[in-house]
Structure 1
């Protein structure tokens, strides 16, 4: 499946065949299952009356050529819906996974995926749909890549691109305040990394949040996946200790309100609107702590911290328990197996 392949960032050599369709070709390979339905709704697939191909093929099923969606770049982070099928033999197939059913799209890091996966996506627009067919994977190669034993037959993935987030991207909107009044300040630097100035004196004892830019998107909810641009400095020295800008401005993504980040982020960002720029003054006990900050070999800063966070997106995600439940329901129902009538 595409998700499994993209997570390892590589693809077996014997999958890289001339049958891979480039996105500028006018006709789709006849061996691709026919995909119908509107982008944004779960697609329906009709499989050709042939055995599964033994080579990788793919193609752009729907080009969003109306000029409304943003162009996808090779170093983007994508938000996408994916539907997977297992195509085991002529007339035999079964749906194995659907983010539409789970109600939660996934995040794809294009730079971590091979060109064989990204070439049909790059230079398309948000709102496009791409289909992939992957041949059966050799069990020995799967084991060497640390993957479980592959299912028999070819796997089919249909990818609907819902949104994109590019390097250096920041929220739009006018910054109405720089902060201050005893709290740090951060001037609007446009698309550049914000410069945070920390005042003299002790940090606040409680978490302080200042909305520098008010977004008009939906409110961030606990356990959503956030896509953000951020910079963090220490209160004592005012020095940057972590920043997405140090990674070429590539946005970061993580679960919020789920204990995966510091408490100051979990409490300070849940309830904010997507599209907002938020400055957080985080006390020591809601950051990494004092002398215990450097744990498990991680070089975490001590004391109070200050962050400026641009909330680019917030996405519902399916928990492993929910996904297992969805998969179990598919198995109980027999999936969407098809055959000749």
Structure 2
């Protein structure tokens, strides 16, 4: 459902690239500090990280030179509620990065703390390198992991800077607090109390499956229609937040065979939850208007007229589906975005202009 835009890199991804020679760590550098063979032997070379998970950590650097290999460990295990981290999960994590410059010496890197910005990172495990995910997989929510990456060589520093990444001085330390997780096929809890019907589409959905949407044999409504099928119990979605959702979309107008085939759906991509910024023009207008103010945990039926989607004609749609569109959306979560940089901090013209529409991801794949 994204409009095409310049890549919005997950901050953790950028950090991992910068501290790991642009994503390549030799096998002999990978020394997990938390051994997984039923023993919890901890590597004393790791910095001492204390404080409650979910709050800014306190860190004490060992009175020794940073190690010359990458080490990692889980320094605080969560309570084990709500399942364990899976290899394909979308994680909500608080992330802080530090520089370890010498024996007992180090400092937090400016602008590299999600606790400072008030906005957690959304981390797609399947897109992260193994030296990050190996430590996180099978850990319970509420766990805290610590990574130490050796100092970059001059060549590696030049590579990082060429990619637009800040090259840290000395070794790098990364602290990741696992706050929440969304797995493949995630849906909102509860039973549907509404199905639509009448002049609106009828929606049925069983468990963790793609919804079935039946379009009535009537003209579509002229205005945006928003009908909660499940009333969520969470906070209201705010403009500018990162929203995590499952969704399916069909056209109101039938095809030549009289059907209403799905034109875009997270379920067609294995049920991977979708994330986007809402209320800021990153998606179609009907999503921005229809989702802001709705509660997290809600399942919505959205009927979006063409003028709030991709247009009423092929020329207007520019490859997107034409006319009135119907969506069923599960709002799984909503989180604040980092504050935008001040205008004087932006370089050039601000980057590539966002493109047009929900079918962009699908078009790119094709």
Distance 1:307 1:222 in 2: 20
Q: Identify if the C-alpha distance between structure 1 residues 12 and 233 changes in structure 2 by more than 3 Å, giving closer, same or farther.
A: same
> Corresponding residue for 1:132?
147
Distance 2:15 2:178 in 1: 18
CA-atom RMSD in angstroms: 2.2
> Corresponding residue for 1:313?
333
> Corresponding residue for 1:185?
202
> Corresponding residue for 1:41?
55
CA contact (8 A) 2:17 2:23 kept: no
Question: Is 1:292 aligned to residue 307 of structure 2?
Answer: no
CA contact (8 A) 2:203 2:214 kept: yes
After TM superposition, the structure 1 = structure 2 runs for residues 65-104 of structure 1, keeping only pairs within 5 Å, are 66-96=79-109, 97-104=112-119
Aligned-partner SS, 2:53: coil
Distance 1:181 1:27 in 2: 63
TM-score, normalisation: structure 2? 0.82
Q: 1:214 aligns with which of 220, 231, 244?
A: 231
TM-score, normalisation: structure 1? 0.88
Distance 2:121 2:237 in 1: 17
Which string of whole-angstrom CA distances, capped at 9 and with x for unpartnered residues, describes residues 241-261 of structure 1? 100001100000000001110
Distance 1:251 1:203 in 2: 28
Distance 1:2 1:57 in 2: 17
After TM superposition, the structure 1 = structure 2 runs for residues 91-240 of structure 1, keeping only pairs within 5 Å, are 91-96=104-109, 97-141=112-156, 146-148=163-165, 150-237=167-254, 238-240=260-262
> Corresponding residue for 2:276?
254
Instruction: Give the number of equivalent residue pairs.
Output: 320
Distance 2:295 2:30 in 1: 46
Aligned-partner SS, 2:245: strand
**Greater shift after overlay, 235-244 or 140-149?**
140-149
Which string of whole-angstrom CA distances, capped at 9 and with x for unpartnered residues, describes residues 10-43 of structure 1? 7213375242334524122111110111111111
Q: Identify if the C-alpha distance between structure 1 residues 12 and 286 changes in structure 2 by more than 3 Å, giving closer, same or farther.
A: same
Aligned-partner SS, 1:246: helix
CA contact (8 A) 1:52 1:89 kept: yes
Question: Is 1:280 aligned to residue 286 of structure 2?
Answer: no
Question: Is 1:4 aligned to residue 4 of structure 2?
Answer: no
CA contact (8 A) 2:12 2:121 kept: no
Distance 2:159 2:107 in 1: 27
CA contact (8 A) 1:293 1:301 kept: no
Distance 1:23 1:230 in 2: 39
Distance 1:142 1:273 in 2: 45
Aligned-partner SS, 2:264: strand
Aligned-partner SS, 1:136: coil
Q: Identify if the C-alpha distance between structure 1 residues 292 and 28 changes in structure 2 by more than 3 Å, giving closer, same or farther.
A: farther
Distance 1:158 1:12 in 2: 20
Aligned-partner SS, 1:19: strand
> Corresponding residue for 1:339?
none
Q: C-alpha displacement at 1:110, in angstroms? A: 0.3
Q: Identify if the C-alpha distance between structure 1 residues 320 and 87 changes in structure 2 by more than 3 Å, giving closer, same or farther.
A: farther
Distance 2:201 2:30 in 1: 57
Which string of whole-angstrom CA distances, capped at 9 and with x for unpartnered residues, describes residues 104-137 of structure 1? 1110000001221111111111111100111123
Q: Identify if the C-alpha distance between structure 1 residues 150 and 14 changes in structure 2 by more than 3 Å, giving closer, same or farther.
A: farther
> Corresponding residue for 2:40?
26
User: What are the ranges of 5 or more consecutive residues in structure 2 without an aligned counterpart?
Assistant: 1-10, 255-259, 346-366
**Greater shift after overlay, 313-322 or 176-185?**
313-322
CA contact (8 A) 1:121 1:130 kept: yes
